[in-house]
Structure 1
């Protein structure tokens, strides 16, 4: 307090502070409103902080949906001095990402990613570097078995190791992140040609480092500039591999955790899945990915898991060129946030958007129904390149686990005690640390 008083007693510093506040007020009140660009409407920003006071940093996605109720499906926010255009709802997000693919294809510069990736890799590179790297990566992953039966065989092998690990707990509680080992190993098999034993010190170190990176990516950031002349170089290769490791492990591993947690929370749904498995899968066999066509309820449950958890709320884009979109002018380089949460929870597309309800994907006769608003992997030019592998892994692991075990809360914890409401905010939305008991089925 005495330090603040001494600062305020200095006339020069007081004048400097007043000038800074005045400049901010002028920028936000006149520069914003009288701009030659017709940006979407939005809340009036405060000096210096802009609209940061309106955003819950733990659940930015829910804050954006709340603001959309007042300002419409397209609105402008100020994060400090930086303008950001937010797109919400299925119709607007799909139109932007599908019909304006070239306009919204770029990524903004995010300091933490610049520090780690040096603007290389798959996710946050732009221009010809991104196009070339994506084409090469998609081709390479297909050659390595993505979407083919050969990789499904490796997933079955990993399922065996996962089941044996779970059996070792003998029905005693163990943590949900224990499920992460299997999806991570499938990614390692594709990238490096071999798997790790779950107790291997190198494997455990890799798990810890991946976890630290995902937490770091959800935190405030650093800055660094770096550029290479060639598109194929070691830094780009390492960045691309890191992108694949993070995407191929975090998304499926976390979704698998959520799926088990939701089966514990809703044992009647878990029982119906197990009954359908019993009717469909021959005793002593595993369900293949093709079997999903004969398992509409199980397929619906898995889709509803991915819809309900809104795993990846949004990944920012930026305009590659000056863009006219729905009556607004978005200048080249402005950050755009297409909110996937707002699509997956869009009340015009889902009967009970905030409830876990597999009937969202079933018709009156119990047949599986595809929904256009099911976009957990995004859509357009920047959609997830590992979508087919992710769907196969999730189905094989989920069905195999429920075929073998019934998952229950640990002793002393009831279904109502299981927390679904406040996920951990990293780069994805993870469930809170919780335990499960796996009871071996006869």
Structure 2
């Protein structure tokens, strides 16, 4: 059984072995008990008391198990564990996703929408410590940009605006730039891609044509974009404060998707004993301490009339409210901490992972890489890429989209929670049920894609070689809860990918063939490439 294997491999001495024995005893005692189903409960495999379906899951890649069950039984997979209720939504076809109104809504029996709150994880989930969750309020409160229920907008350089109504009256979260700043952001991204990932940087660190691990160079480059937005300045790549924060966040995201984390989410009394979960909590504490030090420095040099960053804008707004006698607002230090952590986790890991997949795929499929190089030379030559070049680079754009589709870095998206009882396709989903949308069931849907499990850029090209969109392309999720950083991520992916391919030809390390490059993802909350090295050869 996967859970017992995980407990034994994680160590923990006699206490862990006793706990494993207790779990085994529980399974034996409960195997004879029958399942008591509620009326119209979503279908799925029979759960065991206390453990639910935990023993049936592939703890390293639970989305694979869920897709298999969905394909065999029905639209929905229902998983329970004591007071933990979860519904995993998988769709046989794209219309099923549209029928639900996207991950942000489920239709009840009378046609009115039931709202799904993003990321309000159950109190015992690993990513949110129990003590924090007990104190957390139902509005944005102490959960930041992703986990909260209110809206927080960075819609002008000098201030933040909070409120229940988002852009155009919709309940959306995001960071939106002020008018006229699009060109400034483009120049910033281009300069960042050029100065941090150019040929001299690779050569000075690794030597001409030598194999190197893409993880840190890509993670640091992407993270510095978020640092500039959040803190108002970039970090040197040799700064231990910066590298420790980025490496620690990368490790946390890996741990959050580990089998130990799943054990904790379902059985916290047992999961908190596992070494990997203890490491997660230690990294969280270290990250918070480092951020408090940075916040303190920024607060000391704050000029409310000249905001340098999101943190400055947050402090300026907080100061203004306090001077007006308002002390009970969303603008408090705990909320700032969660918001910054959300931005770093979502803004660095997802984009960096996608870029690393793109480089690995270019090295594995040299014929496709040659076509990208040819298009870049023909259309933009040696000049700096611009966002508006995308429309003239259909094959390159198709390669980026296909990378996102095949990499499937967030197969179960971000967890949501129903705000009230809802009915979907005749099935009742109770209030406060955690809901996961299986994006992988659409991104790898055999009825939507010619070659769903292969790298095939033609998925996004018509017979004339022009780029075509697909409604089944949902790596950023869909509906009201679509990823708030989608526009920034799309811009980053395009500019970084083109800048790198203008300068480098990616090749496998010495002694490894293209076929020998492994596309099996690393276990984690998001799916990153497994550890590997590549060579970057100058093609200028």
The TM-score with structure 1 as length reference comes to 0.86
- Which residue does the alignment assign to 1:125? 148
Alpha carbons 1:108, 1:333 under 8 Å: kept: no
- Which residue does the alignment assign to 1:429? 527
Please tell me whether residue 194 in structure 1 is matched to residue 198 in structure 2.
Answer: no
Shift of 1:346: 1.1
Q: What SS is found at the alignment partner of 2:88?
A: strand
- Looking at structure 2, the residues matched to 102 and 393 of structure 1 have their Cα atoms a distance apart, in angstroms, of 34
Alpha carbons 2:50, 2:81 under 8 Å: kept: no
Alpha carbons 2:175, 2:484 under 8 Å: kept: no
Shift of 1:25: 5.5
- Looking at structure 1, the residues matched to 220 and 54 of structure 2 have their Cα atoms a distance apart, in angstroms, of 37
Please tell me whether residue 172 in structure 1 is matched to residue 210 in structure 2.
Answer: yes
- Looking at structure 2, the residues matched to 80 and 174 of structure 1 have their Cα atoms a distance apart, in angstroms, of 47
* Alignment counterpart, residue 92 of structure 1, candidates 87, 96, 118: 96
Please tell me whether residue 363 in structure 1 is matched to residue 398 in structure 2.
Answer: no
* Alignment counterpart, residue 244 of structure 2, candidates 205, 209, 212: 205
| Structure 2 segments unaligned to the other structure (5+ residues) | 1-13, 107-112, 134-141, 154-161, 273-280, 282-326
* Alignment counterpart, residue 261 of structure 1, candidates 352, 360, 364: 360
- Looking at structure 1, the residues matched to 128 and 233 of structure 2 have their Cα atoms a distance apart, in angstroms, of 30
Q: What SS is found at the alignment partner of 2:194?
A: helix
- Which residue does the alignment assign to 2:294? none
Shift of 1:112: 2.1
Alignment of 1:328-343 (within 5 A): 328-343=427-442
1:353-385 residue CA offsets vs partner (Å, 9 max, x unmatched)? 111110111111111010111111111222111
Shift of 1:205: 1.5
The TM-score with structure 2 as length reference comes to 0.71
Q: What SS is found at the alignment partner of 2:505?
A: strand
- Looking at structure 1, the residues matched to 404 and 463 of structure 2 have their Cα atoms a distance apart, in angstroms, of 22
- Which residue does the alignment assign to 2:115? 103
Please tell me whether residue 439 in structure 1 is matched to residue 537 in structure 2.
Answer: yes
Q: What SS is found at the alignment partner of 2:80?
A: strand
- Which residue does the alignment assign to 1:11? none
- Looking at structure 1, the residues matched to 173 and 87 of structure 2 have their Cα atoms a distance apart, in angstroms, of 30
* Alignment counterpart, residue 78 of structure 1, candidates 77, 80, 84: 80
- Which residue does the alignment assign to 1:326? 425
1:44-94 residue CA offsets vs partner (Å, 9 max, x unmatched)? 223443322321111111111111111122232335664422211233233
**What is the CA RMSD across the aligned residues, in angstroms?**
3.0
- Which residue does the alignment assign to 1:351? 450
- Looking at structure 2, the residues matched to 337 and 19 of structure 1 have their Cα atoms a distance apart, in angstroms, of 26
Alpha carbons 1:113, 1:124 under 8 Å: kept: no
- Which residue does the alignment assign to 2:319? none
* Number of equivalences: 417
- Looking at structure 1, the residues matched to 84 and 180 of structure 2 have their Cα atoms a distance apart, in angstroms, of 43
Q: What SS is found at the alignment partner of 1:381?
A: helix
Alignment of 1:46-57 (within 5 A): 46-57=48-59
